[in-house]
Structure formats: structure tokens, C-alpha cells
Chain A
């Protein structure tokens, strides 16, 4: 595994500089039914194809961002700040 990720702050870097943060999934409201929470806490899509996922630039700027990655080819299609995030 040696693909490159484009950190929105630092530019293209080796994947080894980053921490993988798992799938990007909306968090249920506190009042959501228990099964919805169980699903959120314990299940993952883990699909073969394009994922939206969290990455953290551990060895760089120390920011979290989102990447769209094809889990079959490790092609990173796009990286972006999470919605609403102040881009700094």
C-alpha cells in the first residue's frame, strides 16, 4: 500500500503520513431508536468500490478530512473538508 492522498492543507503525501478514520457515516440523533444506534456503532458497509472515509494527517498538519477512495484499486478520487467545516 503506497498510494497518495491529497491533504487539503499539505497537498499530495504518502498514505503512511495519515491515519485512517473509518467510513464517513452520519451519527444518529440521541432519540433515534436503539436498533439505529446499534447499526451505527457496530456495523460498517465495507463495500468494494468507492468509499467516503475519514483521514487524519497525523504526520502533517493534524487535520481531519474526507476522501473518496476506491477500495479495490486504492484510487483516491477526491479529498475535501467535511461539510460545514471552516477550511483552515
Chain B
């Protein structure tokens, strides 16, 4: 390993700030770096060549793409696994460590696994550990330790700081290279709003790391990075362009949704038009030991040299099949790298300007030649070269070995077209262009630049211009939009003048890696095809090629070629695998966004909180379970008076001339016959006769009803009522006023005495009978009083404006002191209502319960001509019931619980829905569903509790005050 790879001198092209030194830590040891460098660059400059160990065989791996595409630099950075070290900027004090190597990257003992590679064929796990089944159980923990990518630190809860943002734009351009910039400029000039998204800090794409002057107008004589800066300046000066830099598009979804990940923020970007100028990925070549550190993609070398001033090696062989290879070679040469040879696979010599200059400098250039093998153990020591034929296949002839420490590959491109595919565009392989290109486009989606198969700067800019114009035309409603964006003439010229030359990736060698992520070699793919996985999508799933972190960016082309070779089809017939979102790794925290957990608080919440910390979550609400103890609270209600906050009850106001009509339609009971000032219990069923909700309905005026629903059902009931009103043309309005009213239930034999001291309302049984309602003032607070009896005692439900919540709570408790009034919680309430056998819909009923079986047949009024569920209930009425909800009383000391099974004649026959100890019966009592033939007074059943059977008897009447005298 060479440790003296020093940094190049400063230059205008660099993105490094040499004035600002930073220190970070790798495996606990300090590493010196400069601001603007990435972790990988600083580590490389410090002499590191092995960055990861491969997934399966633990082979040493070095930098390959330097652009965040390949898996070769995944590290544990700042507490987060699987960070691409080539993308993470260095920060002072950053903690970096290797993953997936033991004991260290440089001496990874797990490398011995490769010795057994012959025993680990493709589909190893499917084949080997399938039977016997216990083997997988034994092997799994071992395999999980050896394999896998990174380790999640469960004690590290992340940085937090995740968030969302909602943005809207007319045109979104993804990719800030020359094509994308030009498209953005063109669209913004037309006055539409543009969002330009780019993964880098600086706009300009690949131009940013090119220093060779261009020969084309209008940039004649300017280096690529200067062109980039000019164009970026033009973007800054153009109004209407919003640049999202260091940001990545996550995918393209319906409705023009293009989520963008920028740092810890997920931007929900809605766009009317999408311009995809995402460029191409360079793909590597398949040859023996092509994964050795020192084998690198050409653009990676350009980034290192020019952006970071770091030499990727000292002596290089450039392997190419296009003119870009000469650009790279010249850049290397100018930066001081010893250029051993340029190996051009094409039979004919190139006449590009860079080739001439290289020849002039005496650089060895060989035609019709390619690399066969990289030689070396831990990094490249030499390249073994050999002839290839006109079809790109190895030709017979001896190989020659050229000593070098760097092999740069510039052999071809595959489009970064995932956004296009997700947006519904179809791509097809074009052999003359050497890549897949868009064939059909979706409305409002336009490609631009390299992704279309173009290469020359002038062409890229021209296609950007056209895409921008096409987007504007589309926004103006001109259907010709997609025509405007076409660059067929440019592509045709390209096909004619410089058809692509591809070096075959099917070489028949060993240790030639197709997939860096999952260690898949050519042989594995061929074997998989032999085993019948001869279609690219199944081949992918079986071999796992393209399923790793690179998501096919490195391997898709080679895999397709090898599949084509093995099946005798051409690349067009093979097609490509689907690229699904997300296109970049998205932390779950970013998807979740800011931690927002909606909580509803009763207006009396803080009074409860001062008295008890025993609360329960009821949907979005918090309710006190118990204040002191259930027996004390029970005693208060039964013998004195108790107060419970029932503000969580759903509350609806229904107003309008046709309000009665709507309620008659939706509830099983009559409500048009209800007199103002009266309250009636109501049940809502669906059309199949199933009980959906229950509650009280009070008539406050001829066209004014006040409804309560169960806590969790309010949204449903509101929507249900509105749905049945929709399209009727009735004058009726449903308003959810749950939050507007606090509600307190004051109940017990002393409730009347207590309340009468606070109000002028006549509370006497004759003036204010059971199931009546009145409006008036309590302690000066305007209130609606409902005389109902959920807990089975004389009592009032007091509904009043929520802003008085704390005030009235205090008044009632203060005045209640002389009557031994206590606040009571949900638990006491449940016991009190159970003694009365008052059903809780959803607790005692389920999705199969109809009113007959739930013992509520009295609420079903079949004399109404129509109501929701009437047909089903009328049909059911004639049929025999199967089960019934009944009360039971235990006969022994066994303590039943909600949900216990009812056992009859040794078989499970029903279930307990609610059970509590009843002080009134001095025994455990409950409600249970039992077969109808057993639902008769006194019949013995059994309840299965934690492995033991308790005896119980059916109890038809309420457990407490069966005749309801206390409510009168």
C-alpha cells in the first residue's frame, strides 16, 4: 500500500478549502483533512486503499465510482451504518469506522470464506439450508453475523431533526448538469416556476471535474469547470429557478409527486412537469479480479484528481472503447500520473483532439485491445492485456502484462433512467448508441442530456433547451409538448458517425465480478440461467444481482449481457429490471418526519393530572382510570355523589328543517316523534343490520338535535350522517362539536341536592324527569343538562362550553364536599355501568352483532318505512338467533376477565366481553356471548380463566337496581 499519495497543489477547479484543516477519526485514530473533502477522499489521501470487505467472500474493495453509486465505501459514520464515505463531507470530530470486517479492514480473517467459494454456489441459501428445517435455525445467526451490511446502533436514536416540507412547482428538473441547467433556464425564461434538483453542492454535473478546454461555441477555450460555473451563474441570475442542491429525487409518483431528500428533510415536491436530466452511470467491465482496489471508473478518477486534488494512483492503464477515455487519459497525464498505456478496444484509432495530444506526448495507445485480468493481491500491481475482435470478444493471442497501480475504465454508459421508468416512460436498448434510450414518454415528462444517449456538450445543451421548451409548451396546454423535446436528428447523426463499441462482458473467466454488492460472478449468472432462471427479472431475484446497495448501477448492463449471451438473445430482448423507488437510501426518520403524535386533551385535563397519574390512552385522548380507588369511587356514586369527566364523548349538532328526517333514516329508532326537551337512546346499524354505534339523541328544538356518540366513533358517525344526507337535497347540517363542549356526569343519590345549590333549573323529578333535557346555567355557566343514567343512579350529564371546564369542575367539587362527592374514573364507570348491563358498543359488541342478539331489540322500529339496516333487520326478525349477549354471575371464586372463553359441555361456545367484581352481587359478574339456547336465566355455563374452569349462571336482569327505581 502506498502511503505517500500526497495531495496536488491548489487549483481553481478544486472544491477543497485548503485554508481550513479538520480532524476526524477513523477506527478511533485521528485523520487530517481539509474542509470540502469527503471522508473517502481524506482516507485515501491518508493512504487507505481498502475501504470495505465484500459481502460474501470478504475480498478487499477500494474506491470504484466515487459518486455514491457503488457499495465499495460503505462505512459506519456518525452513528449511522451504510454511509457512502465518498459522499459524506468531512466534519471536525466525525467518528468513522469500517463495517463488515473482522478484526480490521486490512486484516480481515473472514477472507478465508473465499477458499470455500466453490461450496457456495449461486442460490446457496435456497439450496443448502432448505432441509432439514432446523439447519436454518442453527445457521441463521452465524450467517447474519458474517453477512449483512452494517449494524444498527439501537441505542443511538439518530440525530433527530428530521422533517418534511411541502413544495409546489411548475417544472422540476432533476440533474444539474449542462442539459438540466439549460432546460431550467429555458423554462424559467418563459415565466414558469422551476425547481432544479442536484445531488452535488455545485451545479454543472460532470463538467465540474473537467479542465480540458472545450472547442465548441459558445464555450470555446473554456475548461469544463469554467463552463459549469458560467452556467451556474446564469441560473443564479435567472429569476424563477429554485435550486435544491445536495438533494436527491427519491422517485416519481402519481400526481406529479417527486419526493426530494435534502439532508434530513423530505420535501414533498408536486410538479406539473418533470424534466429528467439525470445523466448516465459509467459501468465497469467484467474481467478477472476486476474488483481489486486500483480498478476504478474513469469519472471517479476525474473527481479525485480535479475536485479533490488527490491522485488515484501513480501509474495508470486506461481501458476504453470511446473518446471519453482519451479525455480521462489526458487529464491523468496533466495531473502528473504516469500513463502506462491507453488501451482502446475499437479497431480504428480515434481522431479526437485529446487522442492527438496524447500521441504527441508519446503515450502508448493500442487499438483492438482490452484488459483480461487485474493482477495483484490486495491492490492492482499490473494489468494483463489481450486482443479482442471486432465484436468486442476476446481474440486468441498471448496476453501481455503492464505494471501499474491504477486501471481506469471508460467502457460505456447506462442511463440513470429510473425516474423516467417510474414516470411511465418506456426505454429500449439501442446498440448503436450503446445504451437504453427513451422510446415512449408520459405526458409532462421529458428527458434531456446523456440519459437520451447524447454525449457532446453542444448536444447536451441543445437537448436541455428543447426539453425546457417542451415543458413550457406542455404547461401552455400544447399537446405537441413531447414532440418539441425530441432530439432524433442529433441521435441519428450520432448513430451514423460514432456508433458505440461495446467490449463483451461475457468472458468465461473466474473471479470476474458482475455484482460488487453481493459478490456475484459471471459463472453464477450462467449457472442460474442453466437452472432455468433465464429471464432477467427471475435471474435478478435468484442470483440477487442488482439487488444490493448499487441497485444495478454497476451491474445491470453486465448482467443483461451475460444473460443475453447465455440465452442467445440480444440485449433489446433481454430488457432491463424495474427500478423501484426509493432511488437513494432514505432514512426511516426522514420518512417519518418530525415526531408529531396528535393528542387531544379535555379542557379539564390539568385538573385530573393534579389528582392522579393513572391515565389511559383512548384513541387520541387521555383519560383518568382511577383517582383514589375503585371501591371508594364506586361507593361515592352508589351512596353519595360522583363526578366524571365525559368530555371525550362524541358530540354532534344536527340542524335544519330536515334534521328529523335524517335521524329517522340513520337511527333504528324514531326521532321525528321525539318531543323537544326529551332524550332518547339511539342505535345506528349498517345495511346488514350490524350495530355500528350508540348514543343519546336530545331534541333541543323542532329542527335542532344534539347527539352524543361513543368516544372513538365520532368521526365515523359524523361522516355516516353526512353521507346519508349527501345527494338528498335536504336542508340539514351536521356539525361536530365534540371539542366545543366539556361534559361532566354528576351521578348519585345526592346529585340533585348538590346541583340544585348551583342552578335555578327545577331539578325535581316531575319537572326534570328521567330522559329529559334542559338548558340553563350552572354556577353562571351556560349548560345543557341531560337526565340520563349510564351508571344507574340519578344524575345529569352537563354539557357546557369547554373554556369553562376547569371553573365548573372546581365549583362542582367544592359544592360537593358537603355531599361527600368524589371524582371517579373510567374503571369505576365501567363497573357501575356493567352492574346495570349497559352495553358498550365495540367492547360488548363486535362486527357481527345485531341489535336482536345484543339484547337491544327494543330500539328497532320496523314500523318505520325505511331506515338504514331495515331490510336486513326485518329479515333477521323472522329468523332464529344464534347467539345472545347475556349477563352471568360467577358461582365460585374464579375471577373472569374480558375476553375469556365461555365453555359449555366441555367445548368453547362463546366469550366474555366484560367482567368485574360487583359489590351489589358480592360476586364476579359479566356480559358474555352464548348460544341462544343457553341464554336463559339460571343456566350453568363455565368460563375458562388461565387454564381453570369457573362456574357461572346466566343472569337475565341487571345486577343492580333491576327495575331502575333509582333512575326515576
Direct A–B touching in the complex (beta carbon < 8 Å)?
yes
CB-CB under 8 A from A85, the residues of chain B are: 726-729
Known contacts A82-B726, A86-B729; A19 and B719 CB within 8 A of each other? yes
If A30-B865, A64-B719 are given as contacts, then 18 extra A-B residue pairs at C-beta distance below 8 Å, sorted by A number, are: A2-B255, A4-B254, A4-B270, A14-B255, A15-B255, A21-B723, A27-B687, A28-B871, A34-B871, A37-B871, A37-B872, A56-B722, A56-B723, A64-B726, A83-B727, A84-B728, A84-B729, A85-B726
B793 to chain A, nearest CB (A): 37
A63 contacts B by Cβ under 8 Å: yes
Q: List 29 A-B contacts (CB under 8 A).
A: A1-B254, A2-B254, A2-B255, A2-B257, A4-B255, A14-B255, A14-B257, A19-B719, A21-B723, A30-B866, A40-B687, A41-B688, A41-B872, A42-B688, A54-B723, A56-B722, A56-B723, A58-B715, A58-B719, A62-B722, A63-B726, A64-B719, A64-B722, A64-B726, A74-B254, A81-B727, A82-B726, A82-B727, A84-B727
CB-CB under 8 A from B254, the residues of chain A are: 1-4, 74
B875 contacts A by Cβ under 8 Å: yes
Q: Is the CB of B723 within 8 A of A64?
A: yes
A74 to chain B, nearest CB (A): 5
Q: A82: nearest residue on chain B (CB-CB)? A: B727
Residues of B within 8 A of A (CB): 253-257, 270, 687-688, 715, 718-719, 722-723, 726-729, 865-866, 870-872, 875
Q: A32: nearest residue on chain B (CB-CB)? A: B871
Render A14-51 as a binary contact track against B, CB cut-off 8 A, 1 for contact: 11000101000001101010100100111000000000
A42 to chain B, nearest CB (A): 8
Q: Is the CB of B719 within 8 A of A56?
A: yes
Q: B874: nearest residue on chain A (CB-CB)? A: A30
Q: B865: nearest residue on chain A (CB-CB)? A: A30
Known contacts A34-B875, A84-B728; A63 and B722 CB within 8 A of each other? yes
Cα separation A28 to B723 with both chains bound (whole Å): 16
B620 to chain A, nearest CB (A): 14
Render A68-88 as a binary contact track against B, CB cut-off 8 A, 1 for contact: 000000100000011111100
CB-CB under 8 A from B719, the residues of chain A are: 19, 56, 58, 64
Which of the residues B255, B718, B727 comes within 8 Å of A3, measured between beta carbons?
B255
Residues of A within 8 A of B (CB): 1-4, 14-15, 19, 21, 27-28, 30, 32, 34, 37, 40-42, 54, 56, 58, 62-65, 74, 81-86
Cα separation A65 to B715 with both chains bound (whole Å): 17
B264 to chain A, nearest CB (A): 21
CB-CB under 8 A from B728, the residues of chain A are: 84-85
Q: A4: nearest residue on chain B (CB-CB)? A: B255
Cα separation A54 to B726 with both chains bound (whole Å): 10
Cα separation A63 to B729 with both chains bound (whole Å): 14
CB-CB under 8 A from A15, the residues of chain B are: 255
Cα separation A83 to B728 with both chains bound (whole Å): 8
CB-CB under 8 A from A81, the residues of chain B are: 727
Cα separation A58 to B870 with both chains bound (whole Å): 28
A71 to chain B, nearest CB (A): 13
Q: Is the CB of A2 within 8 A of B253?
A: yes
CB-CB under 8 A from B866, the residues of chain A are: 30
What 6 A-B pairs have minimum CB-CB distances, sorted nearest first? A82-B727, A64-B726, A4-B255, A2-B253, A3-B254, A2-B257
Cα separation A32 to B253 with both chains bound (whole Å): 44
Interface centre among B255, B270, B718, B870 (most CB of A within 10 A): B255
Q: Is the CB of A41 within 8 A of B687?
A: yes
Cα separation A57 to B568 with both chains bound (whole Å): 55
Which of the residues B256, B726, B729, B870 comes within 8 Å of A30, measured between beta carbons?
B870
CB-CB under 8 A from B688, the residues of chain A are: 41-42
Q: Is the CB of A30 within 8 A of B871?
A: yes
Cα separation A81 to B725 with both chains bound (whole Å): 12
Cα separation A27 to B871 with both chains bound (whole Å): 11
Q: A36: nearest residue on chain B (CB-CB)? A: B871
Cα separation A41 to B718 with both chains bound (whole Å): 21
CB-CB under 8 A from A82, the residues of chain B are: 726-727
Q: B867: nearest residue on chain A (CB-CB)? A: A30
B302 to chain A, nearest CB (A): 37
CB-CB under 8 A from B256, the residues of chain A are: 4
Q: B686: nearest residue on chain A (CB-CB)? A: A41
CB-CB under 8 A from B865, the residues of chain A are: 30
Cα separation A18 to B939 with both chains bound (whole Å): 50
CB-CB under 8 A from A27, the residues of chain B are: 687
Cα separation A64 to B270 with both chains bound (whole Å): 25
A59 to chain B, nearest CB (A): 11
CB-CB under 8 A from A56, the residues of chain B are: 719, 722-723
B225 to chain A, nearest CB (A): 38
CB-CB under 8 A from B871, the residues of chain A are: 28, 30, 32, 34, 37
CB-CB under 8 A from B729, the residues of chain A are: 84-86
Cα separation A1 to B254 with both chains bound (whole Å): 7
Cα separation A56 to B255 with both chains bound (whole Å): 19
Cα separation A37 to B254 with both chains bound (whole Å): 37
CB-CB under 8 A from B253, the residues of chain A are: 2
Q: A75: nearest residue on chain B (CB-CB)? A: B254
CB-CB under 8 A from A28, the residues of chain B are: 871
Cα separation A84 to B723 with both chains bound (whole Å): 13
Cα separation A86 to B731 with both chains bound (whole Å): 9
A62 to chain B, nearest CB (A): 7
CB-CB under 8 A from A86, the residues of chain B are: 729
Cα separation A81 to B729 with both chains bound (whole Å): 11
Interface centre among A2, A37, A42 (most CB of B within 10 A): A2
CB-CB under 8 A from B875, the residues of chain A are: 34
Q: B869: nearest residue on chain A (CB-CB)? A: A41
A70 to chain B, nearest CB (A): 11
A18 to chain B, nearest CB (A): 11
Cα separation A86 to B715 with both chains bound (whole Å): 22
Cα separation A42 to B875 with both chains bound (whole Å): 15
CB-CB under 8 A from B723, the residues of chain A are: 21, 54, 56, 64
A30 to chain B, nearest CB (A): 5
CB-CB under 8 A from A83, the residues of chain B are: 727
Cα separation A1 to B257 with both chains bound (whole Å): 10
A21 to chain B, nearest CB (A): 7
A20 to chain B, nearest CB (A): 11
Interface centre among A4, A32, A83 (most CB of B within 10 A): A4
Q: B257: nearest residue on chain A (CB-CB)? A: A2
